[in-house]
Structure 1
């Protein structure tokens, strides 16, 4: 297919790639081939034990022979299998490390894919049908992004459709396969289909979820017009078009389409990731708006290759211009007479009006337009707009994808971090925040506003600097903000930072000031400081005060302190209250440990399982040990393996011992080596207390 890069394995192996019906892969018996692509083929197959059919994705044999691909595929399969969403094809199982083939078993979807729909309607699908399909795909993609998974190959062939009682539903498939195979292609190192690939992937820039937004935009264009956005004849010209050609108008191919779709396509296919929609759902919402709210859409051709429609300044008192602004806003579902009037003032250079227009757009979810207006006001010197632009950039910066189930994502600095014991520190963060352009720009705007005396900007700048590891600069800005207005959250964060820097006396003073101002997080952390120097009675009193006010961190700390004192019933009660309140995985894990020690094994198992399914590796390991202890070795093996693949050494050893016990010595030896232990029983993982 024009525009595809075909991996070398496919061209080398040619016709030998297809497996015959009746062949067995991973115990599944193949009954028929459903389709094939650049990476492998999909077969309808019978489950080896259950009376049901599955869709079995089998990669071509050459991939299985490459150790790098096997490792990458195993990593991606672990992430993919964790995705549970109604618009993502469910993954049931995957190959074992020693299997000949690399495969995934999935729920079969009966209705074909979007590529088949395009072939059946080559002039483009009904726009409202397209909008519904894009909404489904966007929901699945955003769920994956929130869970740290990029698709990397969004295209019509990877979106399946099926009829349901409530209508047609779209499902995403083939998550992460492109990433696992990126090491096996030539030239660009990009395995995804070129016609839908974001330009930053060719430029070897950092890639985040907005690459999937771009690909979904290309898919949208294809569904609407029957053609990919850039109609080229060879891979080199396709890459060049993505890198340099402006996004085309779908109405050049299908003039009857709503005019506002030009703006949607232009935004989704922006060359600069920060100028695209911040989420796939934001793209989908704008598509729906474009095809369902077109009564007042402009009758003239909408300008191609612009971020937002241009608003012409009007003379004072020109009510016709106000009306025209109102019609345009109504076509975008943003109609508000006050906003139309503000637009006129903003167009004439009123920076306060520009800032208010930005706020109105942001409140309606029109983030691209909000950035434009904030930036205009900020460049003209409006400090409030500088602050608002910084917050918008920071809050919608790309998520830093967790490298494992146990990784963390920094809390956005625009939010008050008073509900956690301490904000994420540079010492514990797993991501390099200095490499994210939005955060660098946000920092610059915060500095400009902070230097002009904006205390909110001082606070947000301090939080951002702290997350980046610039602790001295962060401390200085916290102090300036605290001295200027004495906000409890500022004093609380300053106390936390000083504690981490070893300045315990000052930390205690700031925590006391914040606690006296009513900050429950400061009350709890003041208790932590006092408990650390042995003042358990006062610490317990502070914990109880914050816990009764609803602070879940204080509940955890109080439970841990009571557990150490041997007051197990009271400790159990506070663990339960904290777990029920916020479902923190460490709370659930600690509660499981306490219940197990008290002989309540059934409840312990439930809490371990709750913590394990949200990624707590200690809970995975402890759950495996509990299950193994009562003879459920298969389930125990699964949990040991889940914990082991993300680095839990105790789970590696226990998995090795379990495998060795049933004679699988080679696999056992591998896990022993990975744990760097042999014949040494692991110590129980400590309870990760918050004291």
Structure 2
């Protein structure tokens, strides 16, 4: 082999370089790879690109990668694109080489190219490259295609891509497919995919399974699922675990979960923790503390219980004031009670969670699922008695005295959440605005 390499045999020189590399003689490996690459061996050119990149000589790495990539080596083109993007910040050149690698069969390059297009808002091009990667077996791109389809209002397409990704082992896709099926009133199908996701420790799926078990009256199973989700730090599931433990008579566990959720800033949990401490443990001081925490966050029942407790104990400590709602004005109305206590329809909850995930997937400012559920459930609730053929906005504005524009805005956001693709996803400030409208609307209609 040595003699052949010395006589200019490119393949022999490449093998000799690999032999020296395996023995740890990097200098000799580089020598023979350079001779092989000069004689046209693309594998040696690729190896030299790796060698120089590893040793920090980026100009040389680019030169050797380009030599191999220009001759059609997909891995060299991919490495070159990554180097140009991450080491030099040359987005234009990186995109060119990602595309070259993708067209040569690299699904990794196709996915990276899709993500670059997504970042620039070029969703059609992103979809094309995600599709190429997904059809070549990339589950993450199939998952992303599901989001692109859902955001465009193409729910059947989203279902197909999420199912493809889920059956390839993508946990997030199984969860989102479950939500989409739940939103489409297919609870059995939703549960099946929640179980797939929960089997891979997806906390959101465990939470959904807890809700399903609770709806069936299976408290022990509900507790197991909610506690799995709660262990991931999900405050709403810590609260639900607390409620279920109360129903099961496990005061110690209920105190644990309400306490964790209350410490995480959840006013409803703080209120219930206070009730539990007083009723089950006789801890008036602890109850007062958590009532006060909840009242300061705007929890009206906590403020009322705190006032009663202070009167009973003769304490002179001040009760936090929870402001009453102001009269509505053309601008955003003041919030009424911050806690939405009615049970929302499962499909509305699923829509809210899908929106939260879709916005997060696009890198948008985070939204709270509970806020979206309240917006959706409020509109659903206040329009149940809508007379036939009546315009919902006009009817609600007339009955409540709210400014028509505020009610119309609430309706528009409801539509955007329930029928994706018709309008951009709402921003947090917009949700805050319509949430205030929803609360004021319920107050004026006497529907708290």
Alignment TM-score, normalising by the size of structure 2: 0.49
Q: Which is higher, the Rg of structure 1 or of structure 2?
A: 2
Return the structure number with greater helix share. 2
Higher RCO (C-alpha 8 Å, min separation 6): 2
